[in-house]
């Protein structure tokens, strides 16, 4: 369903696993968001540089080459204003602590459910827009 908060917002989906990437695109394309994709951390950094208007980056932690933590740090250091949400299969307290103390703005734990994902990212984008 189209979402008044997400409609027209640019979202970067970063996921190396193709079926997972297609799944996330399928969920989010219905909202009216503008979706762009990257398959690894290095590509995510380049896409973020080229697209300063990205509102939110849905960033996988486990990626080939540059992992999610390193990619988030590089993107934030570049001055990008988009919110970065980690997507992780990890749910152990230590891993969540690491995510909280990193450059991520928030996180979502896999498996990702459509309603939960849309609710989470629309809340983050709505809050970010209030600040601006």
Q: Output the smallest distance, CB 44 to Mg ion, in A.
A: 12
Residues in CB range of 110: below 8 A, 6 or more apart: 20, 87, 88, 89
Q: What residues between 55 and 94 interact with Mg ion by CB under 5 A?
A: 60, 62
Helix%, strand%, coil% for the chain, nearest 5: 45, 20, 35
Q: How far apart are CA 25 and CA 29, in angstroms?
A: 6
Q: Output the smallest distance, CB 61 to Mg ion, in A.
A: 7
Complex with Mg ion: residue 8 or 64, whichever CB lies closer: 64
Q: Could you say whether residue 105 binds Mg ion (CB under 5 A)?
A: no
Burial of 113 (0-12, 13-18, 19+ CB in 10 A): exposed
Q: Output the smallest distance, CB 63 to Mg ion, in A.
A: 5
Please name the residue that has the structure tokens 């949400």: 85
Complex with Mg ion: residue 52 or 64, whichever CB lies closer: 64
Complex with Mg ion: residue 60 or 103, whichever CB lies closer: 60
Complex with Mg ion: residue 52 or 65, whichever CB lies closer: 65
Q: Could you say whether residue 43 binds Mg ion (CB under 5 A)?
A: no
Q: Output the smallest distance, CB 23 to Mg ion, in A.
A: 13
The footprint of Mg ion (CB under 5 A) covers: 16, 60, 62
């Amino acid at each position: 369903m189209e979402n008044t908060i997400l409609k027209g917002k640019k979202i970067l989906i970063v996921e190396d696993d193709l079926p997972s990437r297609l799944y996330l695109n399928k969920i989010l394309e219905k909202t009216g968001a503008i979706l762009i994709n990257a398959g690894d951390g290095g590509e995510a950094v380049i896409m973020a540089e080229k697209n300063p208007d990205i509102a939110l980056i849905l960033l996988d932690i486990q990626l080939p080459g540059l992992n999610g933590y390193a990619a988030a740090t590089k993107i934030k250091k570049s001055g990008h204003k988009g919110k970065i949400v980690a997507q992780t299969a990890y749910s152990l307290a230590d891993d969540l602590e690491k995510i909280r103390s990193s450059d991520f703005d928030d996180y979502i734990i896999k498996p990702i459910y459509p309603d939960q994902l849309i609710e989470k990212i629309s809340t983050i984008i709505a809050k970010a827009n209030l600040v601006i």
